[in-house]
Structures are given as C-alpha cells and as structure tokens.
Amino acid sequence: MASARPSQPDASLQALVEPMGEGDVPWVAELAASSFPVPWDVAAFRNELQRPWARLRVIRGAEGVPVAYAVSWCLQGEMHLLSLATSPDQRRLGLGSRLVGDLIEFGRERGLDRVTLEVRAANRAAQALYRRWSFVTLGRRPRYYEDGSDAILMVCPLRRVP
C-alpha cells in the first residue's frame, strides 16, 4: 500500500540536532567532500567553530557519527546558511529538512528577520528542499562559485506580517 507523503516538511522530526564538536570535524569534512565539487576541508570547519557568530549543527547516525550537518552565521539580524549536506546514503529521509527547520526555529526564537542563503542554480534538490520551508528566490548572482556557476539567492522571512 502506498503511504501518503507529507505536504509539509515533517519527516524525521525526532532526529536530534546537536552542536558540532571538534571531534565531529573529520567526519563532517568527509561528508562535505562527498557532497560538494569544491568542499570545505577540516581547517575550514575548525575556523567556523572558532567564530562566535557561527552556528554549527549535526545529526548523528549509528555510533554517533554525523550523517548531516549545517553551518550558518547569525549576523545583522538574520541567519545566513553557508553549508548544508546529508550523507549520500542517508538522503531523502528528512534530515536536511530537519536541519533547515531547526535553523528557522532558532531564528524565530531570537526574533531575527530572515534566513538567507545562496544555492547553485543547477542544484534543484536543494532548491526544492528550501521551497518546502517557504524560501523564495530573491535574485541571481552570476558566476558566484569558483567554477563560474551562478548562485540563486533565496530568503525565508521569519517575522509574520501582523
């Protein structure tokens, strides 16, 4: 029997979102290497861990190894999502969605204005995920990435219009 698919992102709501620690970094860097053409390396994640305005989160799988992560900055009244990935063998299980939902919740709790991000124009999977969380396209940044690809700028407003 076919199961009904949720119309809103609600899968994996139980997945625990935890702060990324120093010990997670090699795993997370490996995850990034399997997810991006120009991935952040161990040093890049360690740098982020030092920044007071950076928020680094993981979801762990078996034996506590991270299977998904998100890095964002909290600056000037908004959250900016810099990097998000789910392990290739754990995709379409709701983990990316859980991390985006956690970020939005964090921003709302703090009364921030919005969440912004850039995503590769060709990255339809990520754009579909963000749209499910009510992100809308604000514009395009030509040749934003190292390989000359364009970025789409997306925003999710956090404040409800009265």
The site for ligand COA (CB under 6 A) is made up of: 5, 9, 35-36, 68, 84-86, 91-97, 119, 123, 125-126, 128-129, 132
Contacts of residue 99, Cβ cutoff 8 Å, sequence gap at least 6: 17, 57, 59, 68, 69, 70, 84
Q: How far is the CB of 51 from ligand COA (least distance, A)?
A: 19
Which is nearer to ligand COA, 68 or 74 (by Cβ)?
68
**How far apart are CB 124 and ligand COA at their closest, in Å?**
6
Smaller CB distance to ligand COA: residue 1 or 38?
A: 38
**In the complex, minimum distance from the CB of residue 68 to ligand COA, in angstroms, rounded to a whole number:** 6
E strands present in the chain: 17-19, 54-60, 66-75, 78-86, 114-120, 136-141, 151-157
Select the residue whose beta carbon is closest to ligand COA and give its number: 96
Cα–Cα dist 60/57, whole Å: 10
Q: Which is nearer to ligand COA, 66 or 94 (CB)?
A: 94
CB nearer to ligand COA: pick between 106 and 135:
135
Angle at 116 between CA 156 and CA 22, to 5 degrees: 120
For the bound state, the minimum distance from the C-beta of residue 130 to ligand COA, rounded and expressed in Å, comes to 8
Question: Could you report how far apart the first and last alpha carbons of the chain are, in Å?
Answer: 43
Instruction: Give the three-state DSSP class for 79.
Output: strand
